[in-house]
Structure 1
């Protein structure tokens, strides 16, 4: 039986991961900065801000039976790289440094429980950028390659590291953005099925698959849609 901890579990993708895992019979630690916002019966609430080292250490001490860590917590400020650096730093602090802090704290827990699995929620924006998504794209690119590096560093203890990439999901973060959106319940199911199958990367939708394939081509073919000169 899996015992999972999910960051950002109070809404969006995180809540759907928690619901799907409960339906599969797992024990679920649901982490959020404000545990009073957790409204899913059956979870074990955890107070957690992943940018707070003391809170991360406390979560690892509390959830010592975890064998699945889902690093779902993330932010999108819309900050451009040449704008206010506070927004850029905030994205990196959560999407990269906070995620890495969780892995560093829980790697010994996973090792003690047989190796387990880490799931890092990245993005199709790990592989491209678009106007209004500069800082977010950089942070998710770092998140993706962090997964690649951690996969190698944690191989000796038998920990699987899976990176998840998607375009728009129908969550609060994507509210107001136009375009096709994937049901977050579908994202959770596909990801957990892929984890059970031992997959190292999950490309959730056709848009993300197209973006990944474009990396082998001339970048102008992709970026001409954005370039004005």
Structure 2
């Protein structure tokens, strides 16, 4: 169990949308400082004195290392930064697919590698990784990146447990942010995602499955693959 009160956290992609919601939720739960990490830290709009804008580009290994050298007091890490290129794996733009993988998979992996020693030195803590319901339901390049991150989170959870570091994977359908503005259907409020993710941290849970869509997809994973992909039925 990780008590957030008095903790120091870092959130990637913290300048808007879900990242900004995580910053707010962490402060409301008593975090003493939150590094609001973004490629352009000047775009962080919070004026709370506990919020520290920090330059961090998750696709740039040197930027990650510089951030880790500055934020040496972190014990909660939220790997939130992500993009959606939504390319076909068969015919899509390979440059866009690589960009998506660099952000959604390699970004959290490299940030975790840089900050795991920081969390351990500070007595342990928690890492929150933003997955997706599409980690379990394939639709193209985006879901492939999130499935890869889901697997990486499972591996990291086992590897980091002896260091007292909890790894929480968050699965959710569409979130009501700019990135999902054109998506159809019901969208989950960013505040709900942040709250349920931090509930999982507080309750020592491995996953937060947020919203009806993610819960429905998870409930069908044990069934024949054609249940999730009815277009395969003959």
User: Is the deviation greater in 77-86 or in 51-60?
Assistant: 77-86
* Deviation at residue 227 of structure 1 after TM alignment: 4.9
Match of 1:219 among 217, 221, 225: 225
* Deviation at residue 74 of structure 1 after TM alignment: 0.5
Q: Which residue of 1 aligns with 2:26?
A: 21
1:80-136 residue CA offsets vs partner (Å, 9 max, x unmatched): 112211111111111111110000000100000111100000000000123xxx010
1:147-200 residue CA offsets vs partner (Å, 9 max, x unmatched): 000011111111100000000110011001110011111111111111101011
1:204 and 2:210 aligned: yes
Runs of at least 4 residues of structure 1 off by over 2 A?
A: 226-229
2:69 match: secondary structure: helix
TM-score normalised per structure 2: 0.93
* Deviation at residue 65 of structure 1 after TM alignment: 0.5
Q: Which residue of 1 aligns with 2:88?
A: 80
Counterparts of 1:16 and 1:227 in 2: how far apart (Å)?
38
Counterparts of 1:161 and 1:49 in 2: how far apart (Å)?
22
- Contact map agreement 2:226 2:233 (CA 8 A) in 1: no
Contiguous gaps of at least 5 residues in structure 2: 1-5
Counterparts of 1:148 and 1:35 in 2: how far apart (Å)?
30
1:99 and 2:108 aligned: yes
2:123 match: secondary structure: coil
2:218 match: secondary structure: helix
Contiguous gaps of at least 5 residues in structure 1: none
Alignment root-mean-square deviation, CA: 1.2
1:57 match: secondary structure: helix
* Deviation at residue 212 of structure 1 after TM alignment: 1.0
* Deviation at residue 205 of structure 1 after TM alignment: 1.0
* Deviation at residue 228 of structure 1 after TM alignment: 8.9
- Contact map agreement 2:132 2:173 (CA 8 A) in 1: yes
1:33-56 residue CA offsets vs partner (Å, 9 max, x unmatched): 111110012210001101111110
Counterparts of 1:223 and 1:2 in 2: how far apart (Å)?
43
Q: Which residue of 2 aligns with 1:119?
A: 128
TM-score normalised per structure 1: 0.95
2:86 match: secondary structure: coil
| Corresponding residue pairs, total | 225
